[in-house]
Amino acid sequence: MATQDSDDRAERTYQAAAETSSQDSALSVTDLAISYPTSDGPVVEVDRLDIPEGEITALVGPNGSGKSTTIRALADQLEPDSGEILLDGEDIANYGAKELARELGHLSQENDAPQSVSVEDLVLHGRYPYRGFFGAVDADDRRAVEHAIDIAGVDHLREENVGNLSGGQKQLAFIAMVLAQETDVLLLDEPTTYLDLHHQLRVMETVERLNTERDVTVAVVLHDIAQAARFADYLIALDDGEVYDWGPPTDVVTEELLRDVFDVEAAVRYTPEPEITPKHSL
């Protein structure tokens, strides 16, 4: 039975991968291996991974499963040992730094800014890849900043200094900064962790709005699988540095996944979205 299941899963993964490659994937990864200087052997090994264009894809998995490592590699923040990461069919290593920052936005897990920077100035930094060494701010930059502030809903905080913001407000301000980059692809590393529920929803709603209104491809690392199931079009479940499953939430979120990957005994109801009721840890 178990083998039957995993066979199904593997088949589905390959089928999905085949579908997306014939369809369009914004980012596609083949034979990726990433290791850290301190680790023995690679911490992430992925044969194939696709971030479909125009969709929200969530990377889920337990601590240490390689979600953040994978997304950092996708953002060219980490150099993989081997493998190919294609953005719109072109290896990201071939992009210039600014060129990449105009195509692909990335917000890391921890963000820090000097206390006395205003939110507006912070968002303006998102225009960095569009400006030359002596670059002045032009009308496009202003419009992009305005739009980013609007979408992230931080208009009332515009003049506020980053040092005076709550954790959630600060996260929204940083998201506005990344939005000002006006990229087609956005990678977010645990944007909702440590936030209160209100701000978690604000962040995810911003992501949703961005996706529906501007057709931005989003890949987001989420800690909370229920949240991922609710907001994402696709889930990529990572386990121990490998892709465990890939597909729409209704297919991926199963009691088996929670048991195998998260070590949690849980009941999953489909209404039709998957609803998870955790019972106990394994």
Cβ 47 to another protein shortest distance, Å: 27
In the complex, least distance from residue 185 CB atom to another protein, rounded to whole angstroms: 11
Close Cβ partners of 187 (under 8 Å, ≥ 6 residues apart)? 71, 74, 75, 104, 105, 106, 107, 218, 219, 220
Q: Smallest distance, Å, CB 230 to another protein?
A: 27
The C-alpha atoms of residue 217 and residue 38 are separated, in whole angstroms, by: 33
Whether 30 contacts 74, CB under 8 Å = no
If binding means CB under 8 A, how many residues of this protein chain bind another protein?
50
Site for another protein in 170-199 (CB under 8 A): 178, 181-184
Separation CA 108–CA 100 (nearest Å): 16
- In whole angstroms, what is the distance from residue 282 CA to residue 277 CA? 15
- Write the interaction track for another protein spanning residues 107-146; mark x where CB under 8 A is met and - where it is not: xx--xxxxxxx--xx-xxxx-xx-x-xxxxx-xxxxxxxx
In the set 56, 92, 100, 151, which binds another protein (CB under 8 A)?
100
Binding positions for another protein, 21-50, rule CB under 8 A: 37
Cβ atoms 83, 32 nearer than 8 A: yes
In the bound complex, what is the minimum distance in angstroms from residue 189's beta carbon to another protein?
Answer: 10
**Six-digit token pair at 249?**
């939430």
Contact positions toward another protein, by CB under 8 A? Answer: 37, 75-77, 97-102, 105-108, 111-117, 120-121, 123-126, 128-129, 131, 133-137, 139-147, 178, 181-184, 214
